[in-house]
Each structure stands twice: as structure tokens, then as C-alpha cells.
């Protein structure tokens, strides 16, 4: 009976955006479908985390010059963006990493479960697991695309700490690089019923001379669902069929 009541409170909380009961304790409720509403680069919403260039080291400057984004003020038709290539027949569709994944122009759903907060991104259906059960970082898997994320609640804010990245992704869609020393801190809070704020701090001493970041604002879309989005579909799948046919 008590379990049933707890489940009812949980369900009601999710529906109304009220605090959620997890492990018998109330935590703020970040659940819902969210879409990026504003970012510091207003002209190109899903582009970068600051209007200009972040404070790059010479190491990062050199890599940045070699990047060719697929859109924005310095876009290239033969882009070498690992996520959004434009050159015909290039594979691409690699995971965008963090924090760039927030700039892919698709919504995400936050799903809160006991001991874990999930970010379910529509873009290629990537899922980020943020462990909130008090465990330390676990990077036994080695460097990964999305890193290892642990979170803790500070009042109404979920503070997420992520390390363990590979150096294959860009931090944004403008082409700013990072090393495997990237450390991302996110402070997530529900500013009101319809607004989610995520304050991002990027630290990477190899690539940036000082920490930098941005505050992103997301809007709730309670009527939206996350739908299938497969980046490799269409052009890449056609290429795959052609290549298979050519082998015969």
C-alpha cells in the first residue's frame, strides 16, 4: 500500500513537474522533453557556447584552424565535422560528445530514476547516464565519447561532473577542439515549470588557458515525444547498399 502511494506520488510529480521521490527522499524534478531555447550564439542557435572564440592554447589554435564545420559563419562544403559531414559518401555520424550534444538541433528527454538521471537525446538516440547514487567516477572502460558522469544534488541544482572523454570530438559545432583531459561540469536546475537551465563549465588545460562555458536555456515541450532519429539513414544507407552491390 505504501509502495503504491509512493508510486502515485512519483507519477503525479513527474506529470506536474513537482519534486520526485527517489529512495524515499524528495529531489527536484528535471523530467520532461526539453528543447534548446537560447544559447550565447544567437545568430546560429545550435552552434557554439560563446559568441567569439574561447581562450585557446597554441595546441588548440592549431587544431581549430584545421576544422571545417558544416554550417555557420565558417562553413565548408567538404566539411570534416565528425558528426555532420557534408562531403558525399563520407561516413560521419560519430557521437557529438559532451557538451556538444546539447547543440545538435534536436530535443532531449530527462528521465529520473533512483540513483540515476538519464538524458535521452533524440539525435541518434544517444543516452547519457548520470549516476546520482554517490558512486565515484569509473573510467575503467578507458576514454569514451560521452565520458563518465556522476551527479549530486545541491539544493534545487543537479551538479554533474564528467571526465573520461576521448579527444575525437569538438566541444561545439564551430570546431573548437578538446583533449582527453576535458572536464565538464554542468549545473542543471528547473528555473520554473517550463524552463531548464544548464550552466556548463569547460576545463581542459591542454586546450584552453582558463575555464570557460555558457548558460543554456531549454523550454519544456510536454506534448512532444522523442522520435526515432538515425543519423546514418538516407544518404549513408544508400551508400552502404551501393558498396555492398559493388562487392558482388
Partner 1 sequence: MSNQFTLWAVAAAFLSTGTPGLAHHGQAGYDLHQQVTVNGTVSDFKFLNPHCIVYLDAKDDKGEMQKWQGELTSPNHLLRAGWTAESLKPGDKITLTGWRAKSGSTSLWITKTVVNGEELKTAAGD
Where on the chain is the footprint of partner 1 (CB under 8 A)?
70-71, 75-77, 79, 81, 84-88, 90, 92, 105-106, 122, 221, 223-224, 227-231, 233-236
Q: Judged by CB, which is closer to partner 1: 90, or 129?
A: 90
Phi-psi region of 222 (alpha: psi -120 to 50; beta: other; left: phi over 0): alpha
Rounded to the nearest 5 percent, the helix, strand and coil shares of the chain are 20, 30, 50
- Per DSSP bridges, beta strands 183-192 and 195-203 are antiparallel
Q: Judged by CB, which is closer to partner 1: 97, or 164?
A: 97
Q: Judged by CB, which is closer to partner 1: 3, or 234?
A: 234
From 145, 156, 87, select the one nearest 121 (Cα to Cα): 145
| Min separation Cβ 85 and partner 1, Å | 6
C-alpha dihedral, 47 to 51 to 56 to 58, nearest 10°: 90
| Min separation Cβ 71 and partner 1, Å | 4
Q: Judged by CB, which is closer to partner 1: 166, or 236?
A: 236
CA distance 68 to 106: 22
Q: Judged by CB, which is closer to partner 1: 9, or 229?
A: 229
If you ran DSSP here, which 8-state letter would residue 143 be given?
S
Contacts of 36 (CB under 8 A, 6+ apart): 45, 46, 102, 103, 105, 216, 217, 218
From 98, 96, 130, select the one nearest 111 (Cα to Cα): 130
| Min separation Cβ 225 and partner 1, Å | 9
| Min separation Cβ 170 and partner 1, Å | 14
| Min separation Cβ 159 and partner 1, Å | 30
- The dihedral through the CA atoms of 201, 94, 44, 29 has a sign that is negative
| Min separation Cβ 218 and partner 1, Å | 14
Contacts of 137 (CB under 8 A, 6+ apart): 148, 150, 161, 163, 164
Q: Judged by CB, which is closer to partner 1: 203, or 239?
A: 239
Q: Judged by CB, which is closer to partner 1: 96, or 164?
A: 96
| Min separation Cβ 244 and partner 1, Å | 18
Amino acid at each position: 500500500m505504501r509502495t503504491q502511494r509512493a508510486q502515485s506520488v512519483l507519477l503525479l510529480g513527474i506529470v506536474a513537474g513537482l519534486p520526485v521521490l527517489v529512495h524515499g527522499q524528495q529531489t527536484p524534478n528535471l523530467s520532461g522533453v526539453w528543447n534548446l531555447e537560447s544559447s550565447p550564439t544567437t545568430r546560429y542557435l545550435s552552434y557554439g557556447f560563446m559568441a567569439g572564440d574561447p581562450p585557446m592554447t597554441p595546441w588548440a589554435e592549431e587544431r581549430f584552424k584545421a576544422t571545417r564545420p558544416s554550417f555557420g559563419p565558417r562553413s565548408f562544403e567538404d566539411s570534416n565535422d565528425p558528426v555532420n559531414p557534408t562531403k558525399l559518401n563520407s561516413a560521419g555520424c560519430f557521437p557529438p560528445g559532451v557538451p556538444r550534444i546539447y547543440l545538435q538541433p534536436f530535443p532531449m528527454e530527462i528521465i529520473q530514476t533512483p540513483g540515476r538521471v538519464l538524458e535521452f537525446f533524440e539525435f541518434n538516440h544517444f543516452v547519457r547516464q548520470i549516476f546520482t547514487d554517490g558512486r565515484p567516477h569509473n573510467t575503467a572502460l578507458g576514454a569514451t565519447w560521452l565520458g563518465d558522469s556522476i551527479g549530486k544534488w545541491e539544493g534545487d541544482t543537479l551538479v554533474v561532473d564528467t571526465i573520461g572523454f576521448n579527444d575525437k570530438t569538438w566541444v561545439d559545432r564551430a570546431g573548437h577542439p578538446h583533449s582527453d583531459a576535458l572536464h565538464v561540469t554542468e549545473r542543471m536546475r528547473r528555473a520554473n515549470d517550463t524552463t531548464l537551465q544548464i550552466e556548463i563549465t569547460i576545463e581542459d588545460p591542454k586546450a584552453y588557458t582558463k575555464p570557460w562555458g555558457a548558460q543554456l536555456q531549454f523550454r519544456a515541450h510536454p506534448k512532444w515525444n522523442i522520435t526515432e532519429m538515425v543519423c546514418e539513414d538516407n544518404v549513408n544507407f544508400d551508400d552502404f547498399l551501393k558498396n555492398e552491390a559493388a562487392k558482388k
